[in-house]
C-alpha cells in the first residue's frame, strides 16, 4: 500500500510511525527539530491521515507497509521510531527485518498483548467506546468543530482526548464534515491492534543487533513494571527512560524532553 509520507531534512533516515487516531502531522514539530541531523520520514499509516483505507489492519499489514516504504525510498537501513500502535508496528517490523534497523525507538507501548481482559478499563473496551462515540456523531447538524466536540462530550469527557480526535475532521467538496479515519475498519480490527509480540520472544538474540530505546510517560499505564520483564527478555540491551509529567501522548505533553532523549540516542 502506498502511504502518504512527508520528508524533512537531510542525513541518515529516521522513519516515524504515529499511534492510533494519529497522523504524521502529530510529530511534525519533533520532526522539524530532528531534521537538522537526519532525514525524517513522517508516515500516515493505513486508515489514518491522508493514506489509503483498507479493511485489513494488523501489525503484519503495518509491517508490510513499512517494508514497502523502505524499498520504495531505497532505504537500506533506517532508525524507526513508533508511538503506541506505531511502536508495536515498529517492533513487529524489527522482528521480521532486523537487518534494516539502525536503531529502534519505542514510545509508550509494551510488546505485550493488551487483550488480557474485557473489563471497563481494558484496551479493547476503552477504544471501542472511543470509536463508537466518533461513529455516533451527526455531522448534518454540526456547523463547526465546537458542535462536534459537544456531541462527543457526554461519551468522552476527557477534553484533551476530544481535541486530539478532532484533528481527524475534514471537509468534503460540499463543505460537509467527515472523519478521515477508517473508523469501521479500526473497530473491526481492535483485537489485532491489542495483540502482542509474544511469538517473537525466542528471538531475543536478534534484538541485540541494533540499539533499542523505550520512552514511557510516568503518568501512563501503557508500560508497567511487569512489562519491563518482557522488554528485557526481548531487548536485553534496551534503554528504558521515564519522562516526568507525561502521559501516553508524551510527545505532545513533554516535546522538549522527548526531543532531547531522541537526539541523545541518535548521536551517541
DSSP state of 48: S
CA angle in degrees (0–180, nearest 5) for 53-165-92: 55
**What is the reported pLDDT for 122?**
82
How far, in Å, CA of 240 to CA of 187, rounded? Answer: 31
**What is the reported pLDDT for 130?**
97
**What is the reported pLDDT for 204?**
58
**What is the reported pLDDT for 199?**
87
How far, in Å, CA of 128 to CA of 136, rounded? Answer: 12
DSSP state of 52: P
**What is the reported pLDDT for 174?**
84
Topology of domain 4-113+196-267 in CATH is Rossmann fold (3.40.50)
Contact 65, 93 (CB under 8 A): no
Taking alpha carbons only, the member of 144, 193, 255 closest to residue 19 is 193
In the chain, which segments carry CATH 3.40.50.1820? 4-113+196-267
**What is the reported pLDDT for 119?**
44
Query: Mind listing the pLDDT tens digit of every residue in the chain (268 residues)?
Result: 999 999 999 999 999 999 999 999 999 999 999 999 999 999 999 999 999 999 999 999 999 999 999 999 999 999 999 999 999 999 999 999 999 999 999 999 999 998 865 544 588 899 999 999 999 999 999 999 999 999 999 999 999 999 999 999 999 888 899 999 999 999 999 999 999 998 888 765 667 789 999 999 999 999 998 999 999 989 989 999 999 999 999 999 999 999 999 999 898 7
**What is the reported pLDDT for 120?**
43
Provide the whole-model pTM. 0.95
Amino acid at each position: 500500500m502506498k502511504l502518504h509520507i512527508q520528508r524533512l531534512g537531510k542525513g541518515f533516515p529516521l522513519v516515524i510511525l504515529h499511534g492510533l487516531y494519529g497522523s504524521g502531522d502529530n510529530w511534525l514539530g519533533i520532526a522539524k527539530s530532528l531534521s537538522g541531523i537526519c532525514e525524517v520520514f513522517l508516515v500516515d499509516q493505513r486508515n489514518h491521515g491522508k493514506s489509503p483505507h483498507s479493511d485489513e489492519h494488523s501489525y503484519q499489514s503495518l509491517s508490510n507497509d513499512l517494508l514497502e516504504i523502505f524499498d520504495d525510498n531505497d532505504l537500506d537501513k533506517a532508525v524507526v521510531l513508533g508511538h503506541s500502535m506505531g511502536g508495536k508496528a515498529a517492533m513487529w517490523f524489527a522482528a521480521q527485518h532486523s537487518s534494516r534497523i539502525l536503531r529502534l525507538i519505542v514510545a509508550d507501548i509494551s510488546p505485550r498483548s493488551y487483550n488480557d481482559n474485557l473489563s471497563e478499563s481494558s484496551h479493547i473496551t476503552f477504544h471501542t467506546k472511543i470509536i463508537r462515540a466518533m461513529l455516533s456523531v451527526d455531522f448534518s447538524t454540526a456547523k463547526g468543530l465546537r458542535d462536534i466536540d459537544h456531541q462527543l462530550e457526554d461519551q468522552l469527557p476527557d477534553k484533551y482526548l476530544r481535541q486530539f480526535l478532532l484533528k481527524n475532521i475534514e471537509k468534503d467538496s460540499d463543505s460537509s464534515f467527515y472523519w478521515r479515519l477508517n473508523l469501521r475498519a479500526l473497530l473491526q480490527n481492535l483485537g489485532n491492534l491489542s495483540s502482542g509480540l509474544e511469538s517473537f520472544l525466542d528471538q531475543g538474540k536478534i534484538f541485540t543487533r541494533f540499539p533499542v530505546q523505550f520512552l514511557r510517560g510516568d503518568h501512563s499505564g501503557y508500560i508497567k513494571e511487569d512489562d519491563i520483564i518482557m522488554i528485557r527478555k526481548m531487548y536485553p540491551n534496551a534503554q528504558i527512560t521515564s519522562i516526568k509529567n507525561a502521559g501516553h501522548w508524551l510527545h505532545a505533553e513533554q516535546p522538549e524532553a522527548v526531543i532531547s532523549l531522541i537526539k541523545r540516542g541518535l548521536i551517541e
